[in-house]
Amino acid sequence: MPIHNNKIADIFSEIADLLDIQDENQFRIRSYRNAARTIDGLSQSVAEMVKEGKDLSKLSGIGKDLAQKIETIVKKGSLPQLKKLRKKTPQSLSTIMKVAGLGPKKVKAMNKKLNIKALKDLKRAAKAGKVSQLEGFGKKTEKNILENIGQIESGEKRKKILAVKQLAEPLIAYLKKDQSLKDISTAGSYRRKKETVKDLDILVTHKSKSKIMDHFTKYEDVKKVIAKGNTKSTVKLRSDFNVDLRSVAKSNYGAALLYFTGSKAHNIAIRKIAVAKKYKLNEYGLFKGKKRVAGKTEAEVYHKLGLKYIAPELRENRGEVEAAKKNKLPKLVKLKDIKGDFHAHSKSTDGKNTIEEMAKAAKKIGYKYLAITDHTKNVTVAGGLDEKAFKKQIKNIDQANKKIKGITLLKGAEVDILKDGSLDLPDSVLKKLDVVVCAVHYNRNLSKQKQTKRALKAMDNPYFQIFAHPSGRLINERKPYEIDLEKVMQKAKQKNIILELNAHPKRLDLNDADVKRAKEMGIKIAIATDGHSTDDLKLMGYGLGQARRGWLAKKDVINSYSLSQLKDVLRKK
């Protein structure tokens, strides 16, 4: 049975949660959390690395002990340590800790006083008003708990795009081993690069007398064959994720790909155009009467309807059809356009690699610049730096720039926006930095009015350049804090402030609709990985998918600029 990265990451995260509930050593807990983050963000399969005999201890945040545990999980599918921890503490308490705002102390208190052992118990108690009666809780906390439970429950039905990629890529590689296969493509929301995916659609064409459906249903990660036929089969993987495989003819492959990629709203919009032109459009092709006039490729169908080709990421019926009619579709930003990253952490705070290691990894990707933006002192959990430490950091970056040729390190900081709207570094230090990235980390539960006022005041600081992960959400885990993004965007436009599109698949913050809104307002976007390791720098592609869904062109994204152009933009601020 294949073990995917997200499964290993989930095991380490659960161990960290259970250790936290048991008041174990915080350093030990942090090591498991860091390992989970590292593994979850890896582009390469850890199971494949084990199979190839690679030294896992060389991965950032993974020592020899954790490397051995990973090998055990890959070979046995589980970890004896986790089973022991579950005997001491119910596994379901770890799930409760995923509810935003509930740390180990509150989870233990609810377990002891209300006998809450599972998410359903918590939901029942919160609905009955029992949680708000506990010391340290209140009506607002209770309301937030119910809202976050709803988010977790809905999130269980949709997987983050990174987790789906880890399932899809080995399956597609397996299907390609069938000699009868001709074409293969994913479809649905995964192909449209949506941040979460409910199930996976795969389309294939093949030679006659193919046994591709037999090959598909025998995949080692299949838990259950739900349906099997000559043209369509559906399986449930061991991760309880459904996959549909559809076999189509070469002559209508494009029409089928268009149809099954969606979205439903986009398909309805183009079908209306087809009807107006006396055509019929479905998954079998574009027809004039009984004659198929297009269908082999998607571009052929669009062209026959008088439309320019519409990229999958845009197919949400948000104006793309009208733009395609008028030849006004944006030339979407591509990964090759990206020349650097604006949000990266080093070992100076909570990063896993040194400044030089991060620089060399960015250079290997092909970047021309990288901003090292370690945390400021208020973020104590990340070991944030004070004024004195940042002055030393600036010198360290200058030294690294002299040592490493072919890439420029930008001196930066991820500055905490305090509750009163002031910044967690004095202007005397901020003015020495090339890149000032500002973010909200604490006091997330302020009212919309107070949170907005806080952000707007911070944006008045003349050194505030980039607003990091502006909504503060974690997909399927934590809802955005209350803030008036419209007012934030208006202020950003007024002050030449750049908004970050955080590329980490857990965040993808801003969301696609807000990215599009920012573009329409003329606000520049910085796509940034928030990299805490050299591996995290490779997550840029997820941000690109979100950027493309938000209609961003190269000119809208500041990390597509040359270093001299970039400095001009930052100097404007």
CATH of the domain at 166: 3.30.460.10
Residues listed for the chain: 573
**Does 510 sit behind a cis peptide bond, omega within 30 degrees of 0 on the bond before it?**
yes
- If asked whether residues 428 and 565 sit together in one domain, one would say yes
Identify whether residues 453 and 524 lie together within a single domain: yes
CA distance 69 to 56: 10
pLDDT digits (tens, 9 = 90+) for 102-158: 888 888 888 888 888 888 889 999 899 998 888 888 888 888 888 888 777 766 678
230 and 256: one domain?
Answer: no
Residue ending a domain, among 325, 354, 383, is: 325
SS (H, E, C) 334-345: CHHHCCEEEEEC
Q: How many CA atoms lie within 13 A of 457 on its CB side?
A: 14
Query: CATH number, domain at 39?
Result: 1.10.150.110
Distance between start and end Cα atoms, the chain: 54
**Domain end residue (candidates: 325, 349, 380):** 325
Rounded to whole angstroms, the Cα distance separating 341 from 343 reads 6
Instruction: Examine residue 148 and state whether it is found in any structural domain, yes or no.
Output: no
Range of the domain at 419: 335-572
CA 277 to the chain's CA centroid: 40
Q: CATH number of the domain at 263, please.
A: 3.30.210.10
152 domain residue, yes or no: no
Whole-angstrom distance, CA of residue 255 vs CA of residue 248: 10
Same structural domain, 186 and 235: yes
Which tens digit of pLDDT belongs to each residue from 354-404? Answer: 999 999 999 999 999 999 999 999 998 888 999 999 999 999 999 999 999
What's the domain count of the chain? Answer: 4
526 and 453 belong to one structural domain: yes
Percentages (nearest 5) of helix, strand, coil residues in the chain = 50, 15, 35
Closest CA to 167 of 130, 135, 199, 136: 199
Q: Is the dihedral of CA 434, 441, 93, 505 positive or negative?
A: negative
Does one domain contain both 375 and 490?
Answer: yes
In this predicted structure, what is the pLDDT of residue 573?
60
Q: Are 298 and 181 members of one domain?
A: no
Q: What CA–CA distance (Å, rounded) separates 480 from 446? A: 12
- pLDDT value for 445: 86
| Dist CA 212 CA 210 (whole Å) | 6
Query: Does residue 519 sit in the same domain as residue 379?
Result: yes
Q: 167, 171, 164, 7: which is closest to 76 by C-alpha? A: 7
In a domain, 467, yes or no: yes
Determine, yes or no, domain membership for 38. Answer: yes
Q: Are residues 513 and 565 in the same domain?
A: yes
Q: Is residue 556 part of a domain?
A: yes
Please give the radius of gyration of the chain, using alpha carbons only, rounded to the nearest integer. Answer: 25
Please give the Cα distance from 539 to 41 (Å, whole number).
7
Q: Does residue 154 fall inside a structural domain?
A: no
Low-confidence ranges of the chain (pLDDT < 50): none
